[in-house]
Amino acid sequence: DTAVSQTPKYLVTQMGNDKSIKCEQNLGHDTMYWYKQDSKKFLKIMFSYNNKELIINETVPNRFSPKSPDKAHLNLHINSLELGDSAVYFCASSPGLADSSYEQYFGPGTRLTVT
């Protein structure tokens, strides 16, 4: 009965490969997010979707492409992986945008290591 789940938890791959990270939430939330947390622990928003529509698209390389097949899922596909992509990627969800008090619920994170 995990609220926000991500797979895989660990991902080790070589430069140049293409990989995907999956995220699912069973909270009935409308909004989902992808964050990148680098070695300095700084949490940086990458994308945000509300009801399957992209609402935040920060300056990230276009090698990163999010896909939201439905409200409960937000997947992240990364092409041509680079060493600098090594980080922990967190998926999160929140009830929506209408109420500023809504907190975000985070998944367990995916630790990506590019060699």
Partner 1 sequence: GQNIDQPTEMTATEGAIVQINCTYQTSGFNGLFWYQQHAGEAPTFLSYNVLDGLEEKGRFSSFLSRSKGYSYLLLKELQMKDSASYLCAVRDSNYQLIWGAGTKLIIKP
Which residues in this chain contact partner 1 in the complex, by CB under 8 A? Answer: 40-45, 48, 56, 90, 97, 100-101, 103-109
> What's the closest the beta carbon of residue 112 comes to partner 1, in angstroms?
14
Cis peptide before 108 (omega within 30 of 0): no
> What's the closest the beta carbon of residue 108 comes to partner 1, in angstroms?
5
Q: Which is nearer to partner 1, 78 or 92 (CB)?
A: 92
Complete DSSP assignment for 53-100: EEEEE-S--TTEEEEEEETTEEEEEE-S--GGG-EEEEEEEES-SS-T
Q: Which is nearer to partner 1, 2 or 17 (CB)?
A: 2
> What's the closest the beta carbon of residue 36 comes to partner 1, in angstroms?
11
Residue 4 contacts residue 104 (beta carbons within 8 Å): no
Q: Which is nearer to partner 1, 40 or 62 (CB)?
A: 40
> What's the closest the beta carbon of residue 103 comes to partner 1, in angstroms?
4
Backbone angles phi, psi at 85, to 5 degrees: -80, -10
